[in-house]
């Protein structure tokens, strides 16, 4: 085991912080580190929270993290905000709504760094590091999500979709998007008028999508006041108890593993092929594709050929 992995296992918080940076920046040290910690990551529970900007995801995450920490759990929080497509910089403001007085809570802000889908490319690695460091619960807050930022479901054991009253039309518009990935729904800011209507709209929309979704829990909260947090925790902890839910979770972990394998394979394959082709052939392929002398698929096949022949 690498020294850094040992430090993380022994609870060194600075080592964990440093390791997340290494994974984020695609450091050559990252693969060995993740391999060392991978066996220790199975027992952590990963809960994703997603929803439109401004519905109160950060405040909700803050309240949940505190409550779980009070119960003695160690809680990791990964809060994702968008990077600027122009400068590549990012303003990460989720911490404004997160008070972090508890040493059992570890909060880390991540920028999307050009990755679409509502999360960050290194999210899987960051979750594994936190799990490997002994954080039994990892809360992931996605960027403010619209209709297609559904990638969180390939990382989380349980996805919470957060909505607020007065967005009836959004519920309508979202029916094929993030509404489908919710294992659990929260109507936050429930002190605003129309919260019961929003609950009914979600309920009927879910019924239209799939009869089995009719029983999905919907919790009303006012996160700023701490209202409804206990009910939400009860719903979260109650999830995954029934045989059907357990089966669904096991299937999801297999899907996630399948996806991890494909991602790792794709990344390795590109590196290997690029190295095998050499920079001259790589640049030549790019030039020819850009000039429309060849198409990307044909150029890719030409670069692949020497490798497939060997095999």
Partner 1 sequence: MLQRKIRVLVAKPGLDGHDRGAKVVARAYRDAGMEVIYTGLHQTPEQIVEAALEEDVDVVGLSILSGAHNTLVPKVLDRLRAEGLDDVMVVVGGIIPEEDAIHLRQLGVAAVFGPGTPTQEIVDFTLGHVRER
Please report, as ranges, the residues that interact with partner 1 according to CB under 8 A.
13-14, 17-18, 20-21, 24-27, 83-84, 87-93, 95-96, 99-101, 106-109, 111, 113
Q: Which helix or strand (DSSP H or E) is residue 218 part of?
A: strand 218-220
Shortest reach from residue 261's CB to partner 1, in Å: 21
Q: Is 83 helix (H, G, I), strand (E, B) or coil?
A: strand
Shortest reach from residue 264's CB to partner 1, in Å: 16
- CA dist., res. 75 & res. 138, Å (int): 6
- Look at residues 37, 57, 68, 61 and name the one whose alpha carbon lies nearest to residue 136: 68
- The residue among 41 and 120 lying less far from partner 1, judged by its C-beta, is 120
- The residue among 12 and 284 lying less far from partner 1, judged by its C-beta, is 12
Strand partners, 107: 77
Shortest reach from residue 26's CB to partner 1, in Å: 6
CA torsion through residues 291, 296, 297, 301, sign: positive
- The residue among 110 and 156 lying less far from partner 1, judged by its C-beta, is 110
- The residue among 100 and 245 lying less far from partner 1, judged by its C-beta, is 100
- CA dist., res. 78 & res. 197, Å (int): 32
- CA dist., res. 142 & res. 118, Å (int): 6
Shortest reach from residue 68's CB to partner 1, in Å: 17
- The residue among 98 and 167 lying less far from partner 1, judged by its C-beta, is 98
Shortest reach from residue 103's CB to partner 1, in Å: 8
Q: Which two tokens stand for residue 126?
A: 């960051």
| CA 8 centroid distance within chain | 21
CB atoms within 10 A of CB 189: 21
- The residue among 68 and 106 lying less far from partner 1, judged by its C-beta, is 106
- CA dist., res. 4 & res. 19, Å (int): 8
């Amino acid at each position: 085991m690498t020294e850094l992995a040992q430090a993380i296992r022994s609870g060194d918080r600075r080592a964990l912080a440093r390791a997340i940076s290494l994974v984020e920046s695609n450091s050559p040290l990252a693969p060995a580190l993740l391999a060392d910690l991978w066996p220790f990551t199975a027992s952590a529970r990963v809960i994703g929270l997603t929803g439109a900007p401004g519905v109160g995801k950060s405040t909700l995450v803050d309240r949940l993290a505190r409550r779980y920490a009070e119960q003695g759990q160690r809680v990791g929080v990964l809060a994702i905000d968008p990077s600027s497509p122009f400068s590549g910089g990012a303003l990460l403001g989720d911490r404004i709504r997160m008070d972090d007085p508890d040493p059992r809570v570890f909060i880390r802000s991540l920028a999307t760094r050009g990755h679409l889908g509502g999360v960050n490319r290194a999210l899987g690695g960051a979750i594994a590091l936190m799990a490997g460091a002994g954080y039994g619960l990892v809360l992931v807050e996605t960027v403010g999500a619209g209709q297609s930022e559904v990638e969180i479901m390939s990382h989380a054991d349980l996805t919470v979709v957060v909505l607020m009253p007065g967005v009836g039309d959004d519920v309508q518009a979202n029916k094929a998007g993030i509404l489908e990935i919710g294992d659990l729904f929260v109507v936050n800011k429930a002190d605003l008028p129309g919260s019961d209507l929003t609950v009914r709209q979600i309920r009927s929309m879910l019924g239209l999508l799939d009869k089995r979704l009719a029983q999905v829990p919907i919790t009303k909260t006012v996160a700023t006041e701490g209202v409804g947090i206990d009910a939400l925790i009860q719903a979260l902890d109650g999830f995954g108890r029934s045989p059907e839910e357990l089966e669904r979770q096991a299937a999801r972990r297999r899907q996630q593993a399948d996806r991890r394998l494909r991602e790792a394979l794709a990344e390795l394959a590109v590196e290997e092929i690029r190295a095998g082709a050499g920079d001259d052939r790589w640049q030549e392929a790019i030039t020819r594709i850009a000039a429309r002398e060849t198409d990307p698929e044909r150029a890719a096949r030409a670069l692949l050929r020497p490798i497939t022949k060997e095999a």
